[in-house]
Amino acid sequence: MHSDSRLEDRPVASAQDGLPMPSRLALRGITKQYPGCLANDRVDLDIKPGEIHALLGENGAGKSTLMKIIYGLVKPDQGQLYWRGSPMQIADPGHARSLGIGMVFQHFSLFETLSVTENIALALGTPAREMKALSQKIAEVSQKYGMTLNPDRLVHTLSIGERQRVEIVRCLVQDIKLLILDEPTSVLTPQEVETLFITLRQLAKEGCSILFISHKLNEVQALCDGATVLRGGSVSGNCNPQQETPASMARMMVGDDTPIATEYVKVAGGEPFLIVSGLSKTTHDPFGTNLKNIQLQVRSGEIVGVAGVAGNGQEELLAALSGEEPVADGSRIRLSDTAIGRLPPDQRRRLGVAFVPEERLGRGAVPSMSLRENGLLTGFLQGLVKKGMVQSDKTEAFARQIIERFKVKTAGTHSPAKSLSGGNLQKFIIGREILQNPKLLIAAHPTWGVDIGAAVAIHEALIQLRDQGAAILVVSEDIDELFQISDRICAICHGELSPLKATADTTIEQVGRWMAGDFVEDAA
């Protein structure tokens, strides 16, 4: 499939040392300015044939803009892109694909009711007369790279890991020369990550270049041959990850003043505060997951982590706990002795419940509203409303406190939520809930898409809230994060919960098996 060799990619002069380099892709002085933000500032990047190259950086460092420039979604203001040694202006994603550049986004763009073949055909513009040949090619390519897919399966019947395979195979059925992967392991079990890495190494061995964007530096160290680090839109360093440690790479990303890793003491907690007993619930979503006899207790003064691959009932469980989807038998969900299963969200908040939803824009925050207004949306019980009137000064102070405490990068409290990067909006939403000092905090993916420094700040805030006596339930697909902050841990698969065990008494491998539905206890 990869007929090209290193000799076919003409050398491009390196801005660092003036020497030629055999680059598949080279960027020279790429600059992109948005109103009030210099996203990329004279960025140089080189990716060789057969190289797995990491692009690292904090939220807002310029990674997304650079990816979009390479894939033809954004035009640079200055600088030059070289493709296989020749200067190139990539007009749009279709042009990028015709050159052999494929991209797998963090959020998949698949039609649930169509088959694997139909989804890939739509993306490639394949005519109906060639569908049979495409189907056969999908089967052959997916099997060759250890990502076996049934071309006739409907997407809604696939796991998240299998859906990612569809996106990758969509690129591989073309004459792929550069594959861009944006946070590809964030939705996978540990076992699926291992399978993906085998595939990527095989692709690289055949000459395909891979640009790998990830916040998981241990994975970067294990997989990548080279790395370019961005900080504030500029290149802050280049390295060979295999000669670095996660800590040294993190320092390149965030500088010397930001804490990058912390070990937290595990605690036993006090009396059960959130008590879920025998909760079963049928979803109204045709592509949703029914909850089956959920048994769960979260004690005051502890963090319980729920691992799982997306689409296994997390959304339904969170909706039941938050009050978005009340349950018929209210006693199935209790706060101590108070049945809350039938209560709407605002009444649960009055009892001390705070909630961080999975989706930031649209559910965690209203995109067009200012940060000040978004703070009011759930913080109204913090003295921000008196006799039905909004207290402007207090609302302003609350929003400013969130921004300062959680180091949210924004022009100010009047900035609309949609103007923030994903990671900065996540910090604002998390901060808004934590600063209400809840008795129970339910958080979905609390550090999803945030950089190392922000993740540490969020983790420390969660631990501080725990140590003040709050019960905390964290639902996340990041198994490393759960092991770092959780006192007890379980997993959800097909709407069922695994056993709940002390984190210190289990392993990542065991939780990985739970995530795949194997709830059988290990033999002593």
Check residues 23 and 19 and name the one with the higher pLDDT.
Answer: 23
**3-state secondary structure (DSSP) of residue 82:** strand
CB 341 within 8 A of CB 331: yes
Q: Does the pLDDT at position 19 exceed 70?
A: no
Q: For residue range 45-62, what is the model confidence (pLDDT) as tens digits?
A: 999 999 999 999 877 788
Predicted local distance difference test score (pLDDT) of residue 12: 55
Listed in order, strand segments (DSSP E) in 85-134 are 86-88, 101-104
Predicted local distance difference test score (pLDDT) of residue 261: 63
Candidate from 34-48, 100-114, 168-182, 368-382 with smallest mean pLDDT: 100-114
Give the residue-averaged pLDDT of 372-398.
94
Q: Does the pLDDT at position 6 exceed 60?
A: no
Give the residue-averaged pLDDT of 213-232.
91
Instruction: Assign 456 a pLDDT band (cuts: 50, 70, 90).
Output: confident
Tokens 């041959």 locate to 225
CB 290 within 8 A of CB 281: yes
Nearest to 352 by CA among 361, 343, 365: 343
One-letter amino acid of 431: G
Q: Tell me the helices (H) and strands (E) count for the chain, helix number first.
A: 16, 25
Give the residue-averaged pLDDT of 364-389.
94
Q: Does the pLDDT at position 7 exceed 60?
A: no
Q: Which residues contact 23 (CB under 8 A, 6 or more apart)?
A: 9, 11, 12, 46, 47, 48, 82, 85
Check residues 13 and 163 and name the one with the higher pLDDT.
Answer: 163
CB 374 within 8 A of CB 432: yes
Q: Does the pLDDT at position 255 exceed 80?
A: no
Fold of the CATH domain 11-100+221-253: Rossmann fold (3.40.50)
Instruction: Assign 9 a pLDDT band (cuts: 50, 70, 90).
Output: low
Fold of the CATH domain 262-352+441-524: Rossmann fold (3.40.50)
Predicted local distance difference test score (pLDDT) of residue 5: 35
Q: Where in the chain is the domain with CATH 3.40.50.300?
A: 11-100+221-253, 262-352+441-524
Q: Which residues contact 125 (CB under 8 A, 6 or more apart)?
A: none
d(CA 504, CA 496): 22
CB 57 within 8 A of CB 229: yes
Packed helices 371-379 and 422-434: angle between N→C axes, nearest 10 degrees: 40
Check residues 393 and 62 and name the one with the higher pLDDT.
Answer: 393
Nearest to 438 by CA among 379, 481, 358, 485: 379
d(CA 492, CA 487): 17
Instruction: Assign 25 a pLDDT band (cuts: 50, 70, 90).
Output: very high
Give the DSSP H or E segment for 393.
Answer: helix 392-405
| Helical spans, DSSP H, in 53-154 | 63-70, 93-99, 116-124, 131-144
d(CA 23, CA 84): 6
Instruction: Assign 445 a pLDDT band (cuts: 50, 70, 90).
Output: confident
Predicted local distance difference test score (pLDDT) of residue 523: 40
Tokens 């930001």 locate to 258
Average pLDDT, the chain: 88
- 311-to-103, 449, 495 alpha-carbon distances in Å: 23, 19, 9
Strands 52-57, 209-213: pairing is: parallel
| Helical spans, DSSP H, in 185-282 | 190-205, 217-223, 246-254
d(CA 124, CA 475): 36
d(CA 500, CA 171): 40
